[in-house]
Chains A and B, each alone.
Chain A
Amino acid sequence: MVRSRPTPPRRLARRFATVALMLAGIAAAAVLPDDRADMFYSDYKGGGMDITGESVLVRKKFSEQFAVEANYFVDKVSGASVDVLSNASVIRDERKQKTLSVEYIHDKTLYNVSYTNSTERDYISNTTHFSLSQDMFGDLTTVTLGFTDTRDKVGENNGTAFRPVVSWLGHATSRSYEAGISQILTKNLIAGATLEVITDQGYLANPYRSIRYLDPTSALGYSLASQIYPNTHTSTALEGRVKYYLPFRAAATASYRYYSDTWGIRANTMELDYAQPISNLWILEGRFRYYDQNQASFYSDLFPFANAQNFMGRDRNLAASTNDTIGVKATYAFLPDGWKVFKRGTVTADYSHIEFKYKDFRDIKDYRPPTYLPGAEPLYSYGANIYQLYVSMFY
């Protein structure tokens, strides 16, 4: 059975840990942000998949120097993506993730440690993160350094959604080194840059995705085989960004990220964001994002014969592709005078639409011989809609 893994948890665990930690650094390294509690719901629909997410986050200061944050996230996956070649093998899965984060401030330095566990039937991930943020030069500059260690256990479910039979395939470790700087340039302008180097080792392929190669003995004209990935991977990403406060109380943000890795992928990401408050009750935001990448050196949509190369991949994340996102977001502030222990609250609705286009990944699920010969199928593309709704209470 060929299934797809839509949400590799390794990255989500690391991302949640990092973003949760960095939130404190955003306010200022010398002061901890407000206590808050969030309830979050999301729904992703696209490419044949439906993924819902539910999350709770609670953050509490125990003194002016010490705070604890806890986050619980559950996502549920159902559907059948383009990787699912058998209509019988509709996937259904659930992932649970728990994060505990501790922050401590001493003078102008914020220290942060967190631990994240993510568990699903065929994937277990444990992430430890440490970072520190230092204010300097009259608090005009904040430097942040971070380190993340992730250890994963990778399996494959060869049973059904309701009767899983998991075989464990191997382990993967990942280490991330991050350095960031945020700089106040003028009364209205702030700039930032982040460099992140990530090294992976171990079982790095997605076991639910396959390569295909020309095979005259097959009725389809091709056969499928397991992907063979290198067991090491190192990536470097550098992002620069600026944020400008407009005279009529609005904010415009622009960012650019360049990415390269040892698998031969080079990528560019550009994003523009505009935030417009209306009175003190609403903040409306619009967002546009563009992304492109070339293919990995060992990627091919169709290999010429079996075992054509040492390393072979047909995961569409490795294919040359572009995507465009348009997003809108509205935040409404309620309880301006507070209620019981709460000082204020906000409710936010967010909608994003993404168009994915692949330049060398073909749709072999919907287009088959004899109408479409191997390698002549239409290129794959799809649109995705993402809905988010969350309530934040500050106390």
Chain B
Amino acid sequence: MRKRLLLSILAAAPLLGACGIQPWVKPYERDRLADPIMSWQRDAISGAYLDHVYDSREGARGATGTAGGGCGCN
């Protein structure tokens, strides 16, 4: 069931991009979001290492927040 839901989202994702929603934060207003301190994860090795320190000592795992991003500002 969960797999089907994810596959449905996957199939629908490109269609959503065609919707006509206007961005309420314009590209020229995203300079603060483009600052490196606003990255969810600046250093891949260090982030993965710390996640692993916890993963291997705790029962919980997954969804540690590195997915996505999306300032769209680069």
Chain A interface extent, by class: 35 or more
A27-B69, A29-B70, A182-B69 provided; 4 other pairs, C-beta below 8 A? Answer: A15-B55, A22-B68, A291-B54, A317-B59
Is A352's CB under 8 angstroms from B50's CB?
A: yes
> Which of A179, A277, A390 makes the CB contact (< 8 A) with B45?
A390
Nearest-CB distance from B23 to chain A (Å)? 3
Closest 6 CB pairs of A and B: A142-B70, A139-B72, A138-B23, A180-B67, A182-B68, A26-B69
Known contacts A28-B74, A143-B68, A177-B3, A237 near B23 by CB under 8 Å: no
Asked if A216 is at the interface (CB within 8 A of a chain B CB), the reply is no
> Which of B2, B13, B44 makes the CB contact (< 8 A) with A20?
B44
CB contacts between A and B, total, < 8 Å: 272
Is A139's CB under 8 angstroms from B60's CB?
A: no
Is B14's CB under 8 angstroms from A178's CB?
A: no
Report B's interface with A, CB cutoff 8 A: 2-3, 6, 9-10, 13-14, 16-17, 19, 21-25, 27, 29-30, 32-33, 35-41, 43-74
Residues of B within 8 A of A257 (CB): 60, 63-65
> Which of B16, B39, B60, B72 makes the CB contact (< 8 A) with A291?
B60
Residues of B within 8 A of A318 (CB): 59
Bound together, the chains give a CA A354 to CA B57 distance in angstroms of 11
Nearest-CB distance from A263 to chain B (Å)? 8
Asked if A245 is at the interface (CB within 8 A of a chain B CB), the reply is yes
Asked if A205 is at the interface (CB within 8 A of a chain B CB), the reply is no
Nearest residue (CB) in B for A259 is B60
Bound together, the chains give a CA A371 to CA B49 distance in angstroms of 40
Residues of A within 8 A of B35 (CB): 245, 249, 251
Asked if A48 is at the interface (CB within 8 A of a chain B CB), the reply is no
> Which of A38, A135, A145, A392 makes the CB contact (< 8 A) with B6?
A145
Nearest residue (CB) in B for A18 is B66
